[in-house]
Amino acid sequence: MKSIFLFLLVVMIATSCKKDKTLEHEIAKINTDVQIERFDKLFSKVTSNKLVDIKRAYPFMFSEKYPDSFWLAKAKDTLQIQLFNEVDKVFLDIEDTETEIESLFNHLKYYFSEFNSPRIITTTNDVDHRNRIIVTDTIVVIALDSYLGSNHEFYGSIANFLKVNLNKEQIVVDLANEYAKKHTYHPERKTLLDEMIYFGKLLYFKDVMVPFKTEAERIGYSEAELNWAITNESYIWRFLVSRELLFSTDSKLPRRFINPAPFSKFYLEGVDADSPGRLGQYIGWHIVRAYMEQNDASLKDMLIKSTEDIFNNSKFKPRK
């Protein structure tokens, strides 16, 4: 019986892998063409003669409350020039990023037929890492100075748990996350479980849209942090259930288990310091995955389901 079970398991896995490869092949055929517009380079070389043309091509990049003299002075500012130079070093070749964004857009078009590829425009924003990507229906703006590498000197004053993902490989993951937020409907989030399921939806969206990225990259963990979460998944779940935290509306809980942080806050010596932050997101991710495995639901359907529907029909069981 055991050998028969193992044989069937291997067949199921092989069949699943074949279906995944076939699907990815079909998605690749969509062949979205992405041409990144390097506004940052154009602006770094702006002159009084060229400014009119640049403003005509990129009017949305220039606030009308500032005169031309402001923009010309900004382009020649010593610190701004240093910023331009550092961006140019890291992004001398941006072809890999273009290819990844093309793949993301192929997936978006496959799952959302109404999707139309926007213009992709790169800029700098004085290392405002909390606003490094802006997405509209027609334009995506990417601040490249927030992706120079986690150890870059510009990030010295940024907390380690925040700057760890400020690298060029994370651009497409962050972009996918912005689209996930646009497509995910979730009413007011009152309980910890509401928060967990909401972020679980965002993470599952990235599973589908950027499968070429690792699980660690999709959630923004190091491999060691992801392994910690996997190893302790059952413990985390028991803690949340035994403390009756899932349906709690305590406003402190998101800070403990959802929001970016150096570690999650169980308030247990020997546990907190070793744990990664955002473990509530991690568990929510696996609840949503379990729901999708147990139910014949499309991605679009899942993204609008309620917390109760997903949780009650997920049959979620943590790994032991």
What gap in Å lies between CA 144 and CA 142, rounded to an integer?
A: 6
Give the up-direction half-sphere exposure of residue 281: CA atoms within 13 A in the CB hemisphere.
Answer: 22
Per-residue pLDDT of the chain (320 residues; tens, 9 = 90+): 434 533 443 344 345 556 677 889 899 889 888 999 999 999 999 999 999 999 999 999 999 999 999 999 999 999 999 999 999 999 999 999 999 999 999 999 999 999 999 999 999 999 999 999 999 999 999 999 999 999 999 999 999 999 999 999 999 999 999 999 999 988 789 999 999 999 999 999 999 999 999 999 999 999 999 999 999 999 999 999 999 999 999 999 999 999 999 999 999 988 999 999 999 999 999 999 999 999 999 999 999 999 999 999 999 999 87
| Alpha helices by DSSP H, 93-159 | 95-111
Which element (helix H / strand E) includes 133? strand 133-135
Q: Which residues contact 39 (CB under 8 A, 6 or more apart)?
A: 58, 61, 121, 122, 123
Does the predicted model carry a pTM greater than 0.85? Answer: yes
Give the pLDDT score at 273.
93
- Contact (CB, 8 A) for 186 and 205: no
The domain segmentation of the chain, as residue ranges, is 36-183, 192-312
Give the pLDDT score at 188.
83
Partners of residue 148 on adjacent β-strands? 167
Q: Which residues contact 202 (CB under 8 A, 6 or more apart)?
A: 177, 180, 181, 184
Give buried/exposed letters for 78-91 (b at 16+ CB in 10 A, else e).
eebeebbebbeebb
